[in-house]
Structure 1
Amino acid sequence: MRDGWLRRIFAQALPTPQLRAGATGGPRTAVRRIILIGRHPNPTSDYYFAARLAAPGMPPHQMVDIKSNDFSSLDAEGAFVILCRYASATALKWIEQERSKLAGVGLFLDDDIPGIVTGREAAIGYRLSLLLLGLMPLRRLNRHLDIVWASTPKLADRLKSANARVLPPAPPASLWNGPHPNASGHEDQLLIAYHATAIHVDEHRFLQPIIKDVLAARPHARFEVFAGKASAYLWQGMDRVVFRQQVSWSDYLAEALTRRIDIMLVPLGSSRVNDCRSATKRIDVARAGAAGIFSISEAYGSADDSGEIRLPLDATVWRNTLITLIDEPAKRRAAAQATRDIVARMSLQAQAGLGLNPS
């Protein structure tokens, strides 16, 4: 109980995004170019900005890596700067020096960063990096912010003191609408996958006994899992389970074009952090051409008539659904198409660009 009290006190002391005095929620002047500062390449910039920046009528843009130590070559005149999740000391110094020339400054967030920093699941190194790059810079950055975007309505509500606008994922079609090696219908080796980040420990605990039962019942099925150190032990010693370390975003995309995944699992328990997550895993499922099983959740919604499979976090229901999908290729194909249809609609949202018109 004392630990929880200390975490709440710590959370309340963390800086939060705030718009600068006089900000109107739009650019200060006409936007001649857009500069997107972040870790490139990465899924956040690809899923939320790549297609929007390429939309008709958008000004020229360039992507700048946050790890750069020299921003002096950037043309600040009429530039609208977007910080994707993080701000480095070098980027902040450049914004401060060039503030009179800039058309504006925006910040995009797709995670409840204070929730991750004060939570228990993420590794201490990752939490520290979020604190240093995602939160502490806000003390300086808030003096310059004109717009704050959030990836979901729930996260925008957490950021309501900054009048955050919702900017949902809108990926380029090229990032998901490609060839699918699993479309041939081979049934001799069927691959189930769970591609998680390191902080989904509870979801790994939920899936492990389900996968153990399913693999025992269906000898031709295999399972692939990405996980961090905190959950790796759950999968050790299991037959037909391939445990993988995280790979770079570029390698992950390149690999997706050459391999087959039949079923992808997207469990998501309710928590402060998870309730703010967006539906980006749908894009990964669509890219693989896989049948997805998604949790009923803030991110993926409730069960409906779309044809996409959304289930409560009930082990028996997930096990039975998995067995059914393994046994019935037609149901896999229908579920895969339902998710692809949803992702196609997500991509269409990019055509509106970013709406950066001076207020």
Structure 2
Amino acid sequence: MLDLIYALLPKPVARNRATDNARQATRLLVLTDGHNPTFTYYLEERLARSPFDVHVRGLTERLGDVDPDGLHVIVCRYIRPRQLLWLYRNRRRLAGASLFIDDDLAATVTAPRGSRLYKAYLMAMGIAPLPVLNRVLTDIWVSTPALSAALAGGGVNTNIVLPPFPPEEAFTPLASSRKDDGRLVMAFHATGSHDAEHAFLIPIVREILQRCREVHFEVVAEGTAARLWVSSGLPPERFTLCPKQEWVTYLAETARRHVDILLVPLLQSRMNDVRSSTKRFDSARMGAAAVFSLCAAYDRAADADEILIDNDAQSWIKTICRLAEDGDLRRRSREATMNAVRSHLANTSVLFPAMLVNPETRP
């Protein structure tokens, strides 16, 4: 049944490709639900380096004062009805319209687990607008080749892959303000659609805290996942449940606070199989030694000294215990992740796709 619902849900498709207006673009307008991880990891730095006049507007802002001529619009994941209506009315005057998407929203909505509230939000903001939005779009930008293939659904794949390229503050730790009190901070930060990963980690973390008395565990969780952790029986003096924060606050806080070991599990699912490796930036920003699931998202362009393991509980327990006991291993792992980040950035273009040519050099 879930497979049938997935197949029936609308997917992003650029149906306005016939226009050649994209070469006339002289300005950029980005529609985004505030500052969020997608905007930071994929768009913010590219916009900062763009030769175009750039305007960024939240999803509740009106567009009546915007001149559509020569304008290329980038929709970051979501759009609200009033802005969608403006785009549709002006679709023939726009230079182009691109949707950037970094998740298979239909897969997330039809996943057997996950927050109902989050799924409802995805439906309202990301999926329900597509029948109209698709008639406006000239391009679909996606985060990974796997997501591109999934959204194409076996048809002609014309999606454009735009890998992450965040600003330096998104992967650079600040000088740690944490006192050296002998504790090792182990963390797992995940909200939204990671209930399966939370359930996977609970018995692992319970075992780690029994074996490694110096480890203190913190988790960012909400909803069902938070309730699972509260009832997990972890020692309260060595366990902290952190609420979800606004993205800008979380970004600054995780750069300031040091984490020794970051857990980054990713279980196999249609939703997870198309994800990118943005958690690497989180790990680097926290100055953490990361334990990643061995999967396509993290295996791609991994540094030789990074730790990637199968999703087997005993393998995770053994690996985390080694990290807790060996400071040199944590250092090598931490440095390896930063090397992987810098290698990725060195081999990734900061430019937007080719249809957004430099207005000074276009014919």
One-letter identity of the residue aligned with 1:198: G
Secondary structure in structure 2 of the residue aligned to 1:333: helix
Aligned to 1:8: 3
Say if 1:182 and 1:262, in contact at 8 Å, map to a contact too.
no
Asked if 1:166 corresponds to 2:144, the answer is no
CA drift of 1:141 comes to 1.0
Identity of aligned residues (%): 35
Aligned to 1:23: 18
Asked if 1:40 corresponds to 2:34, the answer is yes
Asked if 1:238 corresponds to 2:230, the answer is no
Which of these residues, 214, 221, 226, is aligned with residue 220 of structure 1?
Answer: 214
Asked if 1:84 corresponds to 2:76, the answer is yes
Map residues 243-254 of structure 1 onto 2, 5 A cutoff: 243-254=241-252
Aligned to 1:52: 46
Say if 1:226 and 1:244, in contact at 8 Å, map to a contact too.
yes
One-letter identity of the residue aligned with 1:250: V
Say if 1:180 and 1:289, in contact at 8 Å, map to a contact too.
no
CA drift of 1:346 comes to 3.2
Cα 1:76–1:179 change in 2 (3 A) is same
Cα distance in 1 for partners of 2:290, 2:22 equals 43
CA drift of 1:22 comes to 4.2
CA drift of 1:156 comes to 0.2
Give the TM-score of the pair, scaled to structure 1: 0.91
Aligned to 1:175: 170
Map residues 282-321 of structure 1 onto 2, 5 A cutoff: 282-301=280-299, 306-321=304-319
* Structure 1 segments unaligned to the other structure (5+ residues): none
Which of these residues, 334, 337, 342, is aligned with residue 335 of structure 2?
Answer: 337
One-letter identity of the residue aligned with 2:222: G
**Count of matched residue pairs:** 350
Aligned to 2:108: 116
Asked if 1:135 corresponds to 2:130, the answer is no
CA drift of 1:354 comes to 3.4
Secondary structure in structure 2 of the residue aligned to 1:242: strand
Which of these residues, 57, 64, 85, is aligned with residue 57 of structure 2?
Answer: 64
Say if 1:199 and 1:228, in contact at 8 Å, map to a contact too.
no
Asked if 1:259 corresponds to 2:254, the answer is no
CA drift of 1:75 comes to 2.9
Farther-moved stretch of structure 1 (296-305 vs 335-344): 296-305
* Structure 2 segments unaligned to the other structure (5+ residues): none
Aligned to 1:274: 272
CA drift of 1:10 comes to 2.4
CA drift of 1:27 comes to 5.2
Root-mean-square deviation (Å): 2.2
Give the TM-score of the pair, scaled to structure 2: 0.90
Cα 1:13–1:304 change in 2 (3 A) is closer
Cα distance per residue 1:31-66 (max 9 Å; x no partner): 2111111111101011001111223x5312121111
Cα distance per residue 1:193-228 (max 9 Å; x no partner): 000113212211221111111111221110000122
